[in-house]
């Protein structure tokens, strides 16, 4: 089939992009590998999955009707409710008629002669479109650990991003969780409620902070609804589009008692405040970072009864906030339960997965269920899994050797008419806020092209060089860039992902938008349009 635009992925970005391009009068089609809409919230149906952003700051803002009609039921929405929300959106805007499900894109090749993209699906069918929009997500390519024997296990096992649609019953079962990132933390605190035994295999502890979730009553939702204009305005103004934004004061500019009181307040408040609303220098100044880390370490020692276990849960190779801070609900207290055990696999590494469980260097374990909370090939992984080829057959994977190079995180030189939503080097943060901006901006370019009879859009090499340099310069001095994590492109389960790269734009979202707005206001003259 031939379309004006093909979108890969029916998650939050793909759905909204479909709507805006359809409203522009384009023939648009979405190919989605899942059987339903929702992207991240379709795939990540592991026990305990939920937002770490306040629900009302996360939902779409483009439709007043949707804001008026939809009720969030918890301050941090659980995955089933979020998936329901995205299905409501798909129905309300009649999006499904332009989506093919179970349709995995395997290749997308640019054809200069016809100025279009030739897209191939796993089933061998091909489809063409002038514009190609990738809505494939920065955290959507799950990675299994490279531990020998993963295939041998006879019980039930799966990656957190591939949980079955039917609920898994943990009651009385011997369960293992490998991985203690944001996903592992959510899984562990939920599974511990019912499992017979839960054994957590931790390689690196992460700093966490309390989520403080609670239900939203109908009356409270009515109040929240009245304040939507303020909520959304605030999200536009803050550094990363969260309701929280750094305190303008430096850590040591305030008296010790005041500092302690501030941290107590943040630790006791909802959401990302402890990470995103902390003193302005905790992620750049080593002493400030050490001080806040010490505060959180004290909390861990207070909340975990066994001092040896508490010490194992305190990170020693990175400071607070230099990796993504998982938010938790009684996560630390899980380790006070008699049915839960923490195994430090730095001390006693896993040697292999066996038919009955797994062997570490110290012990043989037997399990009924093994859950792999081992994360994603982040940022570029979802791109690497599709054979993208641009002008003269240039492979995107080759183009990005040594780290991604983009223009505004939206375009790649040599890949005309391809636009990335939430691509590398774009503003992430509270993702839907950035997605809506990204989608509207891409829609603006395409509108401009249609109005002016243009059929080819490419960024300039100078533009890419300048943006890549800008992104690199923003990362200078950030403590997080000295640490291994998905945010610095490290994933030891994936070949070639052992070197830290600058994977993310770490400037402010308002600055990012101002830069993109300037391009639009300048009539897109910075692009090579023809």
Residues at the contact surface with ligand NA7, assessed by CB under 6 A: 139, 145-147, 178-184, 203-204, 324, 345, 373-376, 486, 493
Nearer CB in complex with ligand NA7: 57/251: 57
Nearest to 353 by CA among 61, 145, 153, 172: 153
Minimum CB–partner distance for residue 519 and ligand NA7 (Å): 28
Nearest to 267 by CA among 331, 208, 222, 314: 208
In terms of Cβ atoms closer than 10 Å to its own Cβ (0-12, 13-18, 19+), residue 258 is exposed
Nearer CB in complex with ligand NA7: 210/463: 210
Minimum CB–partner distance for residue 91 and ligand NA7 (Å): 26
Nearer CB in complex with ligand NA7: 73/493: 493
Nearer CB in complex with ligand NA7: 91/482: 482
Report the residue number whose CB is nearest to ligand NA7: 181
Minimum CB–partner distance for residue 70 and ligand NA7 (Å): 23
Minimum CB–partner distance for residue 313 and ligand NA7 (Å): 12
Phi, psi (rounded to 5 degrees) for 389? -135, 130
Cα-based torsion angle of the residue sequence 296, 298, 304, 309 in order, rounded to the nearest 10 degrees: 90
> How is residue 401 annotated by DSSP?
T
The C-alpha atoms of residue 446 and residue 411 are separated, in whole angstroms, by 13
Nearer CB in complex with ligand NA7: 17/143: 143
Minimum CB–partner distance for residue 373 and ligand NA7 (Å): 6
> How is residue 142 annotated by DSSP?
B
234: three-class secondary structure by DSSP: helix
Nearer CB in complex with ligand NA7: 375/432: 375
| Sequential DSSP letters for 147-194 | -TTGGG--SEEEEGGG--SSPPP-BT-EEEEE--SHHHHHHHHHHTTT
Minimum CB–partner distance for residue 47 and ligand NA7 (Å): 14
Nearer CB in complex with ligand NA7: 34/349: 349
Minimum CB–partner distance for residue 371 and ligand NA7 (Å): 11
Q: Which run of H or E residues covers position 468?
A: helix 461-475
Contacts (Cβ under 8 Å, ≥6 apart) of 462: none
- Pairing type for strands 209-210 and 327-328 reads parallel
Minimum CB–partner distance for residue 84 and ligand NA7 (Å): 20
Nearer CB in complex with ligand NA7: 61/204: 204
14: three-class secondary structure by DSSP: helix
The C-alpha atoms of residue 58 and residue 524 are separated, in whole angstroms, by 30
Nearer CB in complex with ligand NA7: 203/270: 203
Minimum CB–partner distance for residue 181 and ligand NA7 (Å): 2
Q: Where does 184-249 show beta strands of DSSP type E?
A: 197-202, 209-210
The C-alpha atoms of residue 113 and residue 486 are separated, in whole angstroms, by 39
């Amino acid at each position: 089939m031939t379309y004006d635009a093909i979108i890969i992925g029916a998650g939050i970005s793909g759905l909204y992009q479909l709507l805006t391009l359809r409203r522009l009068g384009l023939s648009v089609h979405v190919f989605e590998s899942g059987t339903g809409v929702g992207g991240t919230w379709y795939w990540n149906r592991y026990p305990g999955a939920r937002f770490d952003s306040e629900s009302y700051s996360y939902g779409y803002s483009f439709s007043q009707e949707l804001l008026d009609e939809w009720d969030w039921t918890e301050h941090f929405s659980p995955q089933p409710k979020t998936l329901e929300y995205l299905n409501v959106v798909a129905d309300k805007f009649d999006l499904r008629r332009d989506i093919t499900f179970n349709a995995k894109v395997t290749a997308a090749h640019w054809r200069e002669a016809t100025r279009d993209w030739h897209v191939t699906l796993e089933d061998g069918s091909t489809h063409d479109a002038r514009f190609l929009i990738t809505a494939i997500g920065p955290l959507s390519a799950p990675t299994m650990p490279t531990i020998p024997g993963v295939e041998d296990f006879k019980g039930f096992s799966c990656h957190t991003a591939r949980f079955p649609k039917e609920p898994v019953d943990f009651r009385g079962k011997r369960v293992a969780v490998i991985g203690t990132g944001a996903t592992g933390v959510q899984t562990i605190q939920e599974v511990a409620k019912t499992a017979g035994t839960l054994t957590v295999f931790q390689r690196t502890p992460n700093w966490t902070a309390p989520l403080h979730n609670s239900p939203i009553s109908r009356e409270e939702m009515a109040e929240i609804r009245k304040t939507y204009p303020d909520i959304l305005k605030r999200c536009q103004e803050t550094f990363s589009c969260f309701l929280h934004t750094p305190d303008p004061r430096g850590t040591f500019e305030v008296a010790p008692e005041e500092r302690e009181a501030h941290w107590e307040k943040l630790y006791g408040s909802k959401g990302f405040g402890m990470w995103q609303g902390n003193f302005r220098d905790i992620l750049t100044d080593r002493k400030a970072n050490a001080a806040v880390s010490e505060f959180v370490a004290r909390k861990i020692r207070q909340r975990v009864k066994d001092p040896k276990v508490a010490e194992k849960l305190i990170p020693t190779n990175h400071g607070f906030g230099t990796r993504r801070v998982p938010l938790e609900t009684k996560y630390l207290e899980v380790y006070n339960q008699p049915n839960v055990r923490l195994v430090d696999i730095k001390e006693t590494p896993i040697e292999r997965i066996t038919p009955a469980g797994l062997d570490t260097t110290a012990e043989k374990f037997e399990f009924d269920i093994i859950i792999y909370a081992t994360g994603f090939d982040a940022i570029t992984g979802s791109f690497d899994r599709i054979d993208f080829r641009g002008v003269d057959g240039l492979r995107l994977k080759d183009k990005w050797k040594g780290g991604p190079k983009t223009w505004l995180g939206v375009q790649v030189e040599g890949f005309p008419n391809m636009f990335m939503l939430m691509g590398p080097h774009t503003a992430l943060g509270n993702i839907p806020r950035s997605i809506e901006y990204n989608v509207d901006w891409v829609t603006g370019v395409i509108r401009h092209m249609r109005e002016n009879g243009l059929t080819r859009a490419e960024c300039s090499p100078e533009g890419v060089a300048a943006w890549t340099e800008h992104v690199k310069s923003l990362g200078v001095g950030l403590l997080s860039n000295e640490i291994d994590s998905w945010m610095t492109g490290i994933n030891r389960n994936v070949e070639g992902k052992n070197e830290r790269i600058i994977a993310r734009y770490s400037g402010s979202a308002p600055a990012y938008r101002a830069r993109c707005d300037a391009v639009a206001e300048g009539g897109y003259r910075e692009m090579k349009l023809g």
